[in-house]
Structure 1
Amino acid sequence: DYSFTANVEEEFDQIAQGSQHWDVMIQNFYGKFHQTVEETEQIDRREVGASRELGTDPESGKPVIARLGKFGPLVQIGEANEDEEDKPKYASLKKGQFIESITLEEALELFQLPREVGEYKGKEIVAAIGRFGPYIRYDEKFISLPKNADPIAIPLDECIELIRQKEEADAPIYVYQDKPVQKGKGRFGPFIKWDNMFINVNKKYDWDNLSAQDIEELIEDKLQKEKEKVIHNWESEGIRVEKARWGRHNIIKGKNKVELAKTVNVEKMTLEEAQALLAEKAPAKKGRAKKK
């Protein structure tokens, strides 16, 4: 809305010139829908999304409902209640299916997933739909299906071909210090993986034709940077202090991390001080809810 934007900018100019008070402008801008915002805070998210009752599940006699869930559109058999032993069954909609148009037959078909497709090298292949779309699971690995593949109908031979492609892509390109080196492309560009470390490969290197020297150089540079990052390492306690971004430092123990202020002298920090800070920032343990 160009006129709305223009009016707001004009009011900002008036505030800058002193001809209008900022609090009046904010009141006029926000006051109109503030009450509505407060009211919506009390609304259950499940009540907001559109839902359709498609019919009845012939096996259980329970209603089949299409609605919007936390991770996208889904269908469910049964309704949520306090009986933990009788929870609804859920299935994600496939690409191209919509809450407004999915039929009962199409919805029931989705509950065929996860589907056992067959075996490869003595290990089971399972097709399913997850948060990020359709996939197959094989040997504890998850392999995304192509856009045109249907997890309900994909045949065994196509699954095997996808597995072979994945195995080829994940095959080690080198071995360094008796540990395999793999390569791939991720969110931040090309990388190599070694000893559970992901090492970015910058444009200085020919990623498609990495030499043994390139790989060893990348790994050694990464190891050196990791060493330089550590200020203290109390191995017996599993606690270390490391450099972080923007001139800050972190205390790390397992999955717990405490960010330190720039004013803290980390060079002189003792183990006891680090332990105290970790204890202070430790998340509170949740107690079990009592059954009524």
Structure 2
Amino acid sequence: MKKNLVIVESPRKANTINKILGKEYNIVASMGHVRDLPEKGLSVDIEHDFKPEYEIIPSRRKVIQKLQQAVKAAEGVYLAPDPDREGEAIAWHLYEILHKKNKNARFHRVTFHEITRSAIQQAFAHVGQINMALVNAQQARRILDRIVGYQTSDLVRRQIANASSAGRVQSVALRIICERQDEIDNFKPEEYWLIDAIFQEPPDGPQFPMRLVAIDDEKVKIGSEKLCLEYCSDIRQGVYQVTLVTTKPGLRRPKPPFITSTLQQAASSNLSMSPAQTMRVAQQLYEGVEGAEHLGGLITYMRTDSVNVAKEAQEAAREFISAHFGREFVPGKPNVYRSRNTAQEA
């Protein structure tokens, strides 16, 4: 019996999905992008609607040969790269290369945002077609990269000795940095002083750190060391008492689920991880950890600016909190967060 062919991006993901789908499916990894603009030359026909000229990436030729052989023996081909613009483009490039090798095979697009048994089974039960709007969005980004990068880099190299390159993103970012540096250079520093004090009564009682912010309801602005010392002298001579104690409950709501940028920020602040390291670890967690008791991925897809959370994940979290901390810590309804209108639902 012929097998169905499933094409994903990475071998780790292939191994995890293979355990879920079973022997009926042949899972193969494309190793990411398989076609791109050639490294040399513009490879974009500006005079004819910016038509790109693609070629198979040299390092992917053996992968393509393997996929072409697998397609010949397949009844159905399931294109399952990541659920974003890059993944959609990879699926389209794979289709363009492979569909001529077996005209009887049915090609399907499969997307899932988490690698769990239920998510994979749901995705394969509701297959779709390649979203050309996403493909064209990726192509527009890639073509702009090439046009701006090639032409700007050539200009920069002629004007600046030992310059390496310029590009669609880095050139704009460099301008923002330069403008910010100009603001810093032109900033006129203004001297100011702060006065902090620790009050304690009796000698072994609790300490209360305080900061001088106002005198007689007027905001204090200390612009010199002399004035600061005068205030300190007056403060030491004063007699103080607590005139009012106010106690009120505080409500702190949990932050929204991570998106790509907030994940990188949290990893940098708390773990001193670089963005590249963070995304590498997140990719491994998404694809599944070898040897883990849990079958499947451990997080949802990490390249996203959507805060949507799968209902299955919500219920799992609520059950865990209830079992380990008590039902009183579980809200009546799950928290709801809204993504921006421009969020990519990946």
TM norm structure 1? 0.19
| Higher-Rg member (1/2) | 2
Specify which structure has the higher proportion of helix. 2
